[in-house]
Chains A and B, each alone.
Chain A
Amino acid sequence: MSTAVDTITATSPGVPDHQENAAAVALRIEIDRSCKLPVLLFFGASVFWLLMGSVFGFLASWKLHNPGFLADLSFLSFGVIRTAHLNSVAYGWASPAAIGVAIWLMARLSRVPLRNSAILIVAAIFWNIGLIVGIGGILSGDSMSIEWMEMPGYATPLLFISFALISIWAVIMFRYRRPGHVYVSQWYILAALFWFPWLYGTANIIMHGLEVSGVSIAATNWWYGHNVLGLWFTPIGLAAAYYFIPKVIGRPVHSYYLSAIGFWTLALFYSWNGMHHLIGGPFPAWLITASVVASFMMIIPVVVTAINHHMTMKGYFHLLEVSPTLRFVVFGAMAYTVVSMQGVSMAVRSLNQLTHFTHYTIGHSHLGLYAFFTMIMFGSMYYIVPRLVGSEWKSASMIKWHFWLSAYGILTMVGALTVAGLAQGGVLNDPEIPFMKSVEITLPWLFSRSIAGIVLTIAHVIFAVHFTMMLLGMGRKDGIPTYFTQDNTTPEASVRP
């Protein structure tokens, strides 16, 4: 952190808001005010789609052990509703949440009020129209059945236009930033906003526009599918973790050099990972091997980032008792390490043989998209929203309930799917055991997963109610942040003007 040259450190992480001078405080308030409409638009949409996605997910999960449940309508069939779930949570919840967080971080870290917010508002509208059309298309039988790219060709251009607008906006913001240090979070955000339109554009042109067929489509599919996680959600999640952990505890990030190494190795290796979803499949050996090797190399960015975050947190872990933002974000950052190392192990061919084609992979993806990414987004929103609406979260106990239901819910879900997957894989690998045994053995675990899904849905409803109360101006107006415990020594912005 080289803040020496900055006269205004207001918006740098590592400087808690209450230690700023008056000019810095005024600027910060101006920045937050300028972000209000676009960020709340994205957050509001994301919370809505989170609830939709939770319902779709529950229906899909229940059908896996009760196939007769609501089976008479085509749009509620498992293969349809599962797809609606994935698209709602990935493109409806996770992406708009990421965009909202990225917008706010860009403005804060560029140290200037938001410019050209009309671009973002148009983008938010396009994005949501695209989602309604796309998910409506899936429900009415127009799914492409290409994993992570199921939306029909008449919906994807809307999402692409929206995203391109956001990328253009980000470049404008970065151009007009106040001179000084570029913090690592900004690299992650800029990179993600540069990669995703390329990724989404290329993959969709190939799937919808070109006269191509054959397994190279599957290669593009998994290049896309894995990079959505690796080069879109992961960078935004890490950008938020890199910002909020230092910000809340009030000290700079442990090592600038480790953040740089972590960033560039992630960029270089993650992009090659996708084909490990196709181990054993009909592809030339070099293609799969390249991805397996790149998957092993992921150890470097993951370990480096884990060390950096841990060393930043060292001596401050007691603040997890106090700050909701910190608790959610640190949970997510720890889950990032776990899910990434699990991902590395799943690229080992012998283990892959056990876990491939099973619920184990589904558990892995929930560990990534929920325990890591979603938890960090929740934490970020708990920090950002009060600053936009000018009031504090109404109830510490609602946040507490949200945290524990989410934490236990997701750990139960991942645990159940992991056990189910290992059992299923064990049976499938033994040709002497009839196939049906691999179905039967998973049933109790799939039932547990459904229960975990209900727990998560309750958590989401609590969060949505709380969030709506904030939008309606029902937050507390006393200016004292909502902490889990009444500890006023916490460095996180203790008093907001």
Chain B
Amino acid sequence: MNSLPKLFIGFFIAFATAWVGLVVVPFLTLGQLQAEVDEDTGELKPPGFGGLAEQGAKVYAAQGCMYCHSQQIRPEYAGSDIARGWGVRRTVPRDYINEKPVFLGTMRTGPDLTNIGRRQPSAEWHHQHLYAPQIISKGSTMPPFKFLYEKRKITGQRSVDAFEVPGYDLEEGYEIVPSQDAKALVAYLLELNRSYSLEESPVE
């Protein structure tokens, strides 16, 4: 094995087999998946994200939420995800066809968010929680995202977006309002709901 061409043929074969198996074939097969159409209502499953939620996914990426939160439900035999109430069924490739990148995640420093929009449907709760996680969720080590909010002096009328955080000591005459990024992020979180039934992974 002393000649360059012979060595390179070896390098190539070793590498190319896995490349075909793990990259090319998944693209050719999983890349073709379409949304399932509900026979009764004509709704698409998965429904896809709205415009604001798509912006929110970018905030989710920029802030690196996926380094602590997964978005995948393993089947009952492979983990306690369903028993914990994080999902009603395992997630399958079709659930993610609209997503780029895919925030499956590999870490659960925080809970799984596959269905957080269903488990916690209140926008106000999410804003409060993002602003002061340790107040809203005792014992949490989530970083506060105060920089996505503005604390400002109330001049004239209160902002329609302003919210209060119970237990948070806010100076008199001030209000907390979400930035566009915070609104988008919460819109995204509220649309995270993969609890519809799919042919290959029905809700029992």
Q: Which residues of A contact B (CB under 8 A)?
A: 63-65, 67-68, 71-74, 77-80, 82-83, 141-147, 171, 174-175, 181-182, 187, 190-191, 194-195, 198, 202, 206-207, 212-221, 223, 231, 260, 264, 267-268, 271-272, 274-275, 277-284, 287, 290-291, 294, 349, 353, 356-359, 361-362, 424, 428-431, 435-436, 438-440, 443
Contacts and interface: CB of A to CB of B under 8 A. Distances in A.
A262 to B, nearest CB: 13
A114 to B, nearest CB: 18
A67 B134 contact: yes
B143 A67 contact: yes
16 contacts: A67-B141, A82-B67, A145-B64, A145-B66, A146-B101, A175-B4, A214-B102, A215-B102, A219-B22, A220-B23, A267-B14, A272-B18, A359-B109, A431-B80, A436-B138, A439-B110
Interface in B71-111: 72, 74-75, 78-80, 83-85, 90-93, 95-111
Interface in B128-166: 133-134, 137-148
Contacts of A440: 139
Interface stretch (B24-32, B37-45, B185-193): B24-32
Contact of B141 (A268, A357, A439): A439
What 4 pairs between A and B have smallest CB-CB spacing?
A79-B64, A271-B18, A280-B74, A267-B14
Contacts of B174: none
Interface of B: 1-2, 4, 7-8, 10-12, 14-15, 17-19, 21-23, 26-27, 29-31, 33, 60-68, 70, 72, 74-75, 78-80, 83-85, 90-93, 95-111, 133-134, 137-148
Contacts of A216: 23, 26-27, 30-31
Nearest to B142: A67
B128 to A, nearest CB: 16
Given A195-B15, A353-B79, A429-B79, A190 B30 contact: no
Contacts of A349: 78
A145 B101 contact: yes
Given A143-B61, A431-B84, A214 B99 contact: yes
Name, among A194, A219, A443, the residue most crowded by chain B CB atoms within 10 Å (CB to CB): A219
A212 B31 contact: yes
Contacts of A428: 80, 84, 108
Nearest to A70: B143
Nearest to B90: A282
A435 B14 CA distance: 43
Main secondary structure of the interface of A (DSSP, over half): helix
Contacts of B31: 212, 214, 216
A212 B62 contact: no
Contacts of A278: 104
Greatest chain A CB density within 10 A among B75, B104, B134, B142 is at B104
Given A77-B64, A80-B63, A147 B106 contact: yes
B22 A218 contact: no
Contacts of B85: 431
A143 B93 contact: no
B22 A223 contact: yes
A64 B142 CA distance: 8
A189 to B, nearest CB: 11
Max chain A CB contacts within 10 Å: which of B17, B68, B83, B143? B143
B106 A145 contact: no
Contacts of A191: 7, 11
Given A145-B67, A182-B1, 4 more contacts: A145-B62, A214-B33, A214-B96, A214-B99
Given A277-B106, A353-B79, A436-B138, A63 B30 contact: no
B137 to A, nearest CB: 8
A78 B26 contact: no
Given A214-B93, A280-B75, A429-B79, A271 B17 contact: yes
A198 B75 CA distance: 35
Contacts of B106: 147, 277, 356-357, 361
Contacts of A362: 107
A277 to B, nearest CB: 6
A83 B85 CA distance: 30
A135 B15 CA distance: 29
Contacts of A443: 141
A418 B58 CA distance: 32
Given A271-B14, A428-B80, A287 B141 contact: no
